[in-house]
A and B are shown apart, each in its own frame.
Chain A
Amino acid sequence: DTAVSQTPKYLVTQMGNDKSIKCEQNLGHDTMYWYKQDSKKFLKIMFSYNNKELIINETVPNRFSPKSPDKAHLNLHINSLELGDSAVYFCASSQVAGGSYEQYFGPGTRLTVT
């Protein structure tokens, strides 16, 4: 069974479009995260939800909006896509929020904006 799954795995779209990435975890975890990994493999936290409540909201353009319909799902919607949004986006989850808990990562969504 896949612990953290993301769809789609690849997403190619044009500038100005709006797209969504979905994430689901079946681990029963309370906390979920979105990360962005750039072409140099630098991984940066974007958002985190704990039991559907936003607890981390880094300096991210407001074109990015996370939504957590329940604690097993965390989706990422991106409006007016720009070239610089091209990256790999990872969803992750942890048992609870806290730096002493390991995070489980999804396989990633490679977003290419043309």
Chain B
Amino acid sequence: SQQGEEDPQALSIQEGENATMNCSYKTSINNLQWYRQNSGRGLVHLILIRSNEREKHSGRLRVTLDTSKKSSSLLITASRAADTASYFCATDSGSSNTGKLIFGQGTTLQVKP
């Protein structure tokens, strides 16, 4: 079964607003990653958070991880039209060292200028 599930599936906001996307997963993990995919392009890595971390920042991105709830959130502050894309969380299996990532279904974000 799919490891990561994201919520909401689609989000539409105005430029300047904040966007929050959530990800839930089922099994224990060592790391959780977030990726962005612009339309018709490959995925781009945004941020990685380890299971012993609770929060991480990178520019306008803020990621939180709650391992007790098996969930993570990605916050994009002061959104821009260029942030329009699909966002995916990806988890490792927790016990494997193969690099296997299991991706969520993604959240499609539209930022209106």
- Listed in ascending order, the chain A residues whose CB lies under 8 Å from chain B are 4, 31, 33, 40-45, 48, 50, 55-56, 90, 92, 94, 96-108
Contact = CB atoms under 8 A, between A and B. Distances in A.
Interface in B42-57: 42-45, 48, 50
Nearest to B29: A99
Contacts of A107: 41-42
Contacts, number: 79
B70 interface: no
Given A98-B98, A100-B31, 9 more contacts: A41-B105, A41-B108, A42-B2, A43-B88, A50-B99, A56-B99, A92-B42, A99-B29, A99-B30
A53 to B, nearest CB: 11
A36 B28 CA distance: 24
Interface of B: 2, 29-31, 33, 35, 37, 40-45, 48, 50, 86, 88, 91-93, 96-103, 105-106, 108
